[in-house]
Amino acid sequence: MKVAIASGKGGTGKTTVATNLAKVAAAEGCTAAYLDCDVEEPNGRLFLKPTVDKQRSIDKLLPAVDLGRCTFCGRCSQACRYGAIACVGKQVLVFAELCHSCGGCTLACPVDAIREVPKSIGELLLGMAGPIRFVEGRLNVGEAMSPPAIRAVKSSTHHAPRDDLRHTECDQYNEADLTIFDCPPGTSCPVIESVRGSDLVLLVTEPTPFGLNDLQLAVEMVRTLKLPLAVVLNRCDIGDDRVRRYCAGQRIPILAEIPDDRAVAEAYCRGQLASDAAPSFAGRIRSLLGRILKGAA
């Protein structure tokens, strides 16, 4: 089962839920994989402390123009929807930050003057956190578009040659009982790329006016994608009951309510998994796992 852990805004406890869910699932005998799709700010590794045994570049393809062949007809710039290539006099300019690597200009060129060349936009890290298969994507500082890096994280075993991973690890990833996508916050393109293909989107929120507002935006996004969704209410003993009433009205199941707990906050500050430090928290995550695996959403 593939579960995307997302939230309309940052700081709701998304990574806390994602990392502890992976840990508890593994402790309960499930095979678990944790994929950090928050490529602009990956931090799951601070808590899972994986051993990284493979590291490689994430590339995107950019057009490179052979000016010796080019007739400066301008068809490539007419074909590009993103304004990423421009034919100006006897020059063809490529704006790498705008390019979506769609290959349209290559197809449009009548004289085959364009070839696609790889450009590194980040790094992919593969390893194990105890029994948990761990994958992290890291976007280079200054790179504008994270979806290609997120795609690389989610399809890492497809991109990797078979012998790039130990056989058992590869099997463990592909056949994991639970694969967790730890998504970036918000509702924009990186989040859409991260939740795509999941069996359940778990939205982590708080019972505050900000939490409700951002939850509503996230619900709208997930419903547009026609994916099953459920809610985890973190710090459930603060704020008011508007999130609960909204979920009831929208028929969105709340799979877990997690009270504010100093032991959880202290574990977080130490870079420790809260399920190791706070037994009551671990119990709630175990119960959440049971409801997910039973298909409660």
Q: What is the DSSP string of 44-104?
A: THHHH--EEEEEEEEEEEEEEE-TTT-----HHHHH-TTS-EEEETTEEEE-TTT-----H
Q: Which is nearer to ligand SF4, 103 or 283 (CB)?
A: 103
Q: Does 255 bind ligand SF4 (CB under 6 A)?
A: no
87 binds ligand SF4 (CB under 6 A): yes
Of 58, 114, 176, 252, the one binding ligand SF4 (CB under 6 A) is 114
Q: Where are the beta strands (DSSP E) in 95-199?
A: 114-129, 132-139, 178-182
Residue 79 sits in the site that holds ligand SF4 (CB under 6 A): yes
Considering only residues 47 through 66, tell me which ones interact with ligand SF4, judged by CB under 6 A.
63, 65
Of 102, 120, 12, 16, nearest to 58 (Cα)? Answer: 120
Report if residue 101 touches ligand SF4, rule: CB under 6 A. Answer: yes
CA-to-CA distance for 201 and 212, rounded, in angstroms?
Answer: 17
CB closer to ligand SF4 out of 86 and 170: 86
- For 106, the enclosing helix (H) or strand (E) is helix 104-108
Residue 80 touches ligand SF4, criterion: CB under 6 A: yes
Distance, C-alpha 4 to centroid of its chain: 8
Biggest CA-to-CA distance, the chain: 70
113 binds ligand SF4 (CB under 6 A): yes
Query: Least CB distance from residue 142 to ligand SF4, whole Å?
Result: 18
Residues 187-246 that bind ligand SF4 (CB under 6 A): none
Which residues bind to ligand SF4, rule: CB under 6 A? Answer: 63, 65, 70-76, 79-80, 82, 84-85, 87, 92, 99-105, 108-109, 111, 113-114
